[in-house]
């Protein structure tokens, strides 16, 4: 999920800061950003989006 990394950087957050703000582990964030984990629970995407102040759709389908 390259969009997740882009959204995080746009928000000026480190992976650790996003992990703390979202309640999602840094290991999961690293796996999602690197593509090692390509599927995430909807609850995970929602928590990440809330922490990044964006729509979950922005993370899943950044071009739409």
Q: What is the pLDDT of residues 21-53, one digit of tens each?
A: 999 999 999 999 999 998 999 999 999 999 999
CA distance 30 to 1: 10
| Residue 34 pLDDT | 95
Q: Which tokens go with 44?
A: 């995970």
Element (H, E) at 2: helix 2-10
**Structural domain boundaries enclosing 38:** 2-60
In angstroms, rounded to a whole number, what is the distance separating the alpha carbons of residues 6 and 53?
13
Residue 40 belongs to a domain with what CATH number? Answer: 1.10.260.40
Reply yes or no on whether the pLDDT at 63 is more than 80. no
Provide the domain count of the chain.
1
Section 15-26 average pLDDT: 98
- pTM for the full predicted model: 0.91
Q: What pLDDT was estimated at residue 64?
A: 53
Q: How far is CA 48 from the centre of its chain?
A: 5
């Amino acid at each position: 999920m390259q969009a997740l990394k882009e959204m995080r950087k746009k928000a000026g957050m480190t992976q650790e800061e996003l992990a703390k703000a979202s309640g999602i582990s840094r290991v999961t964030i690293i796996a999602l950003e690197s593509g090692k984990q390509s599927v995430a629970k909807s609850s995970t995407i929602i928590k990440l989006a809330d922490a990044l102040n964006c729509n979950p759709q922005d993370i899943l389908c950044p071009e739409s």
